Amino acid sequence: MLTGSRSSCRGSSPDTRARPIPGTGGSPRFLEDVGGLARENNLALLNLAASLLGRGESYVEVGSFKGLSLIAAMLGNAGDFVGIDDFSLGGGNRRRLDANLRRYGLAGHTILEGDAFTLLRQGALGARRVGVYYYDAAHDYRSQMRGLRLIEPYLADDALLIVDDTDWNQVARDAGLPRGAAAGRAPRDA
């Protein structure tokens, strides 16, 4: 996972320890109930990141699948939330995503359906300023780079970027890094 840091963290120093995700009772059943691929620590990180959104900023994620990461980001947090998915991965679809979000009482978010790269290039985020960006779609170096480049014009000054599975060997290999060396490092041509 590759993360950017927000150095000027919204006024006085926030409590940046991972916290249980509100509304889930801290239960791993939450993961089973919704169904998805993210792990508990990733979900707690997203929830914490979204809690640090500044005024007028948005949380945007690419790869919402059945909603697990979007639900984790939204629970207990206020703000503008956007999920993007083309539902190309088997088992995920718009109906299921919407039903899962409803089940957790969540509303007011935006789902953009289609290829994320096309949508971002076409300006589908409008005038949004993105304070937290979570990329969790195709896990190869080229796609991850595209996902970062295309979100760049939308980013708030001290935005937090979270990219899943940057530590996969295929990502390291394509980035020209030694095996397993990609975790936590910015790609050289970022």
Which residues are near ligand SAM by CB under 6 A?
Answer: 36-38, 62-66, 68-69, 84-89, 92, 115-117, 136-138
Measured distance CA(151)–CA(38) in Å, rounded: 21
Tell me the closest approach of the beta carbon of residue 153 to ligand SAM, in angstroms.
18
- Give the angle subtended at the CA of 148 by the CAs of 96 and 184, to the nearest 5°: 95
Q: Between residues 19 and 39, which has the closer beta carbon with respect to ligand SAM?
A: 39
Q: Between residues 10 and 149, which has the closer beta carbon with respect to ligand SAM?
A: 149
Tell me the closest approach of the beta carbon of residue 41 to ligand SAM, in angstroms.
12
Tell me the closest approach of the beta carbon of residue 146 to ligand SAM, in angstroms.
9
Q: Which residue in the shown chain puts its C-beta closest to ligand SAM?
A: 36
Q: Between residues 54 and 154, which has the closer beta carbon with respect to ligand SAM?
A: 154
Tell me the closest approach of the beta carbon of residue 178 to ligand SAM, in angstroms.
25
Q: Between residues 88 and 170, which has the closer beta carbon with respect to ligand SAM?
A: 88
**Dihedral sign (CA 51, 54, 55, 56):** negative
